[in-house]
């Protein structure tokens, strides 16, 4: 059994989160907590303050890997152990 946190995320099929990996959903360190996404060189306001990650099918997140809020991983992505995706 692995301890993970993947709050408010959308996870594809056949995805593996190794032990202690996290998909953070909240910018605790920011005064302005609004979640924004950069898409086609345009910043989009999501109108939410909490959103985890979008993780594509067949992706793997290594032990103690951290996905910052609004991380978008394409299909077959690999996050190395101890890696931070910001």
Please count the CA atoms within 13 angstroms of the CA of 69 that sit on its side-chain side. Answer: 17
User: pLDDT at position 12, please?
Assistant: 98
Domain residue ranges in the chain: 10-85
Residue with tokens 């996905």: 67
CATH C-level class of 10-85 = mainly beta
Task: Look at residues 52, 59, 51 and name the one whose alpha carbon lies nearest to residue 75.
Answer: 59
Q: What is the full per-residue pLDDT of the chain (86 aa) written as tens digits?
A: 679 999 899 999 999 999 999 999 998 888 998 998 888 999 999 899 999 999 999 999 999 999 999 999 999 999 999 999 98
> Widest CA span of the chain, in angstroms?
40
User: pLDDT at position 7, please?
Assistant: 87
Q: Which residues, 6 or more positions from 61, have their beta carbon under 8 angstroms from its beta carbon?
A: 15, 16, 17, 18, 21, 23, 55, 67, 79
């Amino acid at each position: 059994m692995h301890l993970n946190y993947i709050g408010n995320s959308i996870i594809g099929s056949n995805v593996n989160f190794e032990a202690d990996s996290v998909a953070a959903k909240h910018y605790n360190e920011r005064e302005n907590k609004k979640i924004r996404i950069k898409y086609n060189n345009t910043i989009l306001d999501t109108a939410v303050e909490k959103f985890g990650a979008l993780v594509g099918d067949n992706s793997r997140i290594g032990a103690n890997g951290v996905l910052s809020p609004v991380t978008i991983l394409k299909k077959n992505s690999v996050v190395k152990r101890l890696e931070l995706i910001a």
